[in-house]
């Protein structure tokens, strides 16, 4: 029997500039994909994976997200919010949410769509005793997402943000210990992928059996609509 998983943090505070040509009146999380706001696809997936509590890091047009989701009770979830008054980057947003974070939790980018089962990722994280365990998957092109080089023991050997040539890519889904926060510079906006992961100890990977779609670009947004049977913008 599957066990309940810990809270998930969704990094949904970005400006969504890549998607602006198609979605300009709302935050990326509320972009309509296959007939409903994208955030609902993520929350339904988390519920299927027995996640019951979610922390949403919001910023740009975040009040629209709060108005739409509320406390999450109508979705069978508990939703809390952490606000960015100015863009903090993915790492800065996580540090901003520190008071809401349990000792261990999941993190996902607000533009990642996947059918990944989260329990094996969580088990791998505990097996490694890692500060962070990244879900990674093979991909023919690592130039648009985070490229990963991983050893046979699961240890991440290098993390190359949006560079060609890597055989694995990050899915933007992580199992994390709260101790990771102490590695995040607090004096400036910063990125998990560029500023924290490349320099940290205790970074491991979990090779996922499924892929993902980054809906944060016009091409990815249209591809996800096709995948889910919706109409394209």
Contacts for 33 with CB less than 8 Å, ≥ 6 apart: 41, 113, 215, 221, 224, 225, 228, 230
Question: Which tokens hold the place of 22?
Answer: 């198609």
**Going by C-beta distance under 8 Å and a sequence separation of 6 or more, which residues neighbour residue 166?**
142, 147, 148, 149, 160
Neighbours of 43 (CB within 10 A): 23
CA distance 48 to 227: 19
Half-sphere exposure at residue 207, Cβ-oriented, CA atoms within 13 angstroms = 11
Give yes or no: 162 in active site. Answer: yes
Q: Which residues are annotated as catalytic?
A: 162
């Amino acid at each position: 029997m599957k066990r309940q998983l810990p809270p998930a943090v969704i990094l949904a505070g970005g400006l969504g500039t890549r998607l602006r040509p198609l979605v300009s009146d709302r935050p990326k999380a509320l972009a309509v994909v296959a007939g409903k706001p994208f955030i609902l696809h993520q929350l339904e997936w988390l519920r299927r994976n027995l996640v019951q509590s979610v922390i949403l890091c919001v910023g740009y047009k975040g009040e629209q997200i709060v108005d739409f989701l509320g406390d999450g009770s109508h979705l069978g979830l508990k939703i809390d919010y952490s606000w960015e008054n100015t863009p903090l980057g993915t790492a800065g947003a996580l540090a901003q949410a520190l008071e809401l974070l349990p000792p261990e939790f999941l993190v996902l980018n607000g533009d990642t769509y996947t059918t990944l089962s989260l329990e094996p990722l969580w088990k791998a994280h505990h097996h490694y005793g890692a500060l962070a365990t990244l879900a990674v998957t093979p991909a023919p092109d690592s130039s648009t997402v985070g490229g990963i080089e991983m050893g046979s023991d699961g240890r991440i050997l290098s993390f190359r943000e949006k560079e060609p040539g890597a055989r694995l890519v990050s899915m933007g889904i992580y199992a994390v210990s709260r101790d990771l926060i102490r590695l995040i510079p607090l004096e400036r906006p910063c990125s998990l992928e560029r500023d924290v992961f490349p320099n940290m100890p205790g970074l491991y990977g979990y090779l996922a059996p499924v892929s993902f779609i980054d809906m944060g670009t016009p091409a990815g947004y249209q591809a996800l609509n096709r995948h889910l049977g919706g109409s394209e913008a």
